[in-house]
Amino acid sequence: MHHDDDDWDDSEFDSEVENDDDEIELISKSQLKREAHALKKLGEKLVGLGSSQLAQVPMPEPLANAVAEARRIKAHGGRKRQIQYIGKLMRGLDAEPIIAALDKLEGNDAAAIHQQHLCEQWRDRLIEEGDAGVGALADEYPQADRQTLRNLVRNAKKEREQNKPPVSYRKLFKAIRDLVEE
């Protein structure tokens, strides 16, 4: 059977979506499948979260109930079907707040990455400059406990010189992170 180009109708392969400007935008079947797969992956992430992390993700009650149900299901096939259902539920809502919350939990959010880099820079500066670096940090963050920071810097330097595990090095980073978060 031969089709003329004029008779070809792609409507069965494309879906029409109206955007805010009342224009009709064509979305291919492949694009719809990619989006559905991405939402299913998002659903899998939600199901895999711990209870405290899940509580930090904003989601409507039907979705929260579906995620809770998927966490209870132990059978592989049943769990897989429930995750597909979660993906289907997510197609009808704005997934951006959920994605943003997951990014924040995973440390992918830009502010968290910036803060991590800032803390690493301060830690390296303190170890390199010693007391002068502690003074600069205390000028920037007046609530800093100079004595504790000096001790951590001194111990981190010793650990590095003696090839010991970086316990104080990590504690110094945590102290700086706590300062920056305040």
Helices (H) and strands (E) in the chain, counts: 9, 2
Spatial contact of 179 and 137, defined as CB atoms under 8 Å apart: yes
175 near 146, Cβ under 8 Å? Answer: no
pTM comes to 0.47
List C-alpha distances in Å: 85 to 40, 46, 66, 139: 8, 13, 8, 54
Residue 50 structural domain: 12-106
Q: Over the stretch 29-69, which tens digit does the pLDDT of each residue have?
A: 888 888 888 888 888 888 888 888 888 888 889 888 999 99
- The residue written with tokens 């090839």 in the block is 163
Q: Which of 49, 82, 106 is the last residue of a domain?
A: 106
Largest CA distance in the chain: 86
Count up the domains in the chain and report the number: 2
> How confident is the model at residue 109, as a pLDDT?
60
Please say which residue of 106, 125, 141 terminates a domain: 106
Q: Please, are residues 79 and 73 in contact by the beta-carbon 8 Å criterion?
A: yes
User: Cβ atoms within 10 A of the Cβ of 78, count?
Assistant: 13
Residues 138-156 have pLDDT tens digits of 999 999 999 999 999 999 9
Residues 72 and 141 in one domain: no
